[in-house]
Amino acid sequence: MDRIPILRMGDILLVTIQVDMQDQTALQLQDDLAGQIAKTGASGVMIDISALEIVDSFVGRMLTSISGIARILSATTVVVGMQPAVAITLVELGLSLDGVKTALNVERGMEMLRCTRLENALGR
């Protein structure tokens, strides 16, 4: 089974999914990220899915639960780089990724995490 690497950049954890994941790999990533957030005290998680050609309900559910777990551990998750065809398919499949923050690309995702951190610091 492949294991998706998690990179640390300051207080942000960066994950780039570049393989067609088995279900187990997706679940492992969820566990690994929860562990890394707790260990590093990261304030943000960025998941780059620009290399993913499909997102089915299993991976969609994994993205939703990572966002939820991270939020409880006081970190913000942003999913970046979704391909247009994937977005169209997800909506038709009936998956709206409720509660998952998304951004068009890594740059905007970083901006979003910076803004969220600032708002949190100001207590809003």
Partner 1 sequence: MAADPTGTLPLLSEQNIVASRQMVRALCQELKLSLVDQTKMITAASELSRNALIHGGGGRMRWEFVERNGRRGLQLHFEDEGRGIEDIALALTDGWTSGSGMGLGLPGSKRLVNDFEIQSVPGAGTRVSITKWK
Binding site for partner 1 (CB under 8 A): 20-24, 53-58, 61, 83-86, 88-89, 92-95
Instruction: Rank residues 25 and 43 by Cβ distance to partner 1 and give the closer one.
Output: 25
Contact 26, 58 (CB under 8 A): yes
Buried b (16+ CB within 10 A) or exposed e, 100-121: bbbbeebeebbebbeebbeeee
Minimum distance between the CB of residue 23 and partner 1, rounded to whole angstroms?
5
**Which CB atom, from 24 or from 74, has the smaller least distance to partner 1?**
24
- 40 touches 11 (CB < 8 A): yes
CB of 109 to partner 1, least distance (A): 22
